[in-house]
Amino acid sequence: MPHVNDVPLPEGASPGNEGCAAWDGAFRVIYGIERKIIDSDSWVQTSAVQLPDGTLDSAEGPSRSDPGISVNSSWENYLTGSQARQLAAAIIASADELDTWTRERHGCPFSWCTTRPRHTDDQDHWSGITYTTASLRHGDPYHLEGDRSPLTVGAGVAYVEGQMPAVVVHLDGGQYDYDHDAFLRLDEAYELRRALDQAIDHATEAFSHMCDEIVSGAHTLGGDK
């Protein structure tokens, strides 16, 4: 049976004590850099389970764990602004480290790909969705009822090798609890970009008009001529 100690560690990873002895080399827990916050008990660290074939995934055993990031902080105590920025930077650095590990695992050519090949086909690439809030009108969080989440809209990429790549636009949450995907061809995505650029230009013009009206109204109330 292959032993997990025979495969290389991901870049920057260190082996933990869990796994190898108890499970005859069936897996080992590995850790990234422990990023400590100055003058605080808080720290951030990447961890994963490595299998004898070199992959990082879940393993049967007492340390069953998916690749992920541990954020250890005493949330009862306030962080200073400097400490909060350190914590945010540490989370981002650990996320970058985790991205490096997972890309190494399956040799994916795309830096944006978050697909985990032990769960899906190696030829299936997915970027995840980057969201922005939509806070006006039906997206206004003050209009939400019960456990509804704020309305967000986002975009990502889905690509199965051998098939047309798609730009994915996703609408999520809001008053009506949306959960809708739109898969666009590249030409359709470019059309949407042009439509958004035009709409943004028009909305910017309208915003400038609104500001001018406010200033004009303030001058009128102040008796300016």
Q: What is the pLDDT of residue 21?
A: 44
Distance CA 64, CA 23 (A): 12
Token pair listed for 99? 């991205």
Q: What is the pLDDT of residue 189?
A: 98
pTM: 0.56
Going by C-alpha positions, the residue among 54, 159, 158 that lies closest to residue 107 is 54
Per-residue pLDDT of the chain (225 residues; tens, 9 = 90+): 567 777 888 888 888 765 554 456 677 888 999 999 888 888 899 988 887 777 776 444 444 556 788 888 766 667 888 888 898 899 988 988 887 787 655 567 787 887 755 444 568 888 888 899 898 887 787 877 777 888 899 999 999 989 999 999 999 988 888 899 999 999 999 999 999 999 999 999 999 999 989 988 877 766 665
Q: Are the C-beta atoms of residues 37 and 77 closer than 8 Å to each other? A: no
Q: Look at the alpha carbons of 126, 114, 107, 1 in this order and tell me if their dihedral is positive or negative.
A: negative
Token pair listed for 36? 């400590």
Q: What is the pLDDT of residue 37?
A: 87
Q: Are the C-beta atoms of residues 73 and 54 closer than 8 Å to each other? A: no
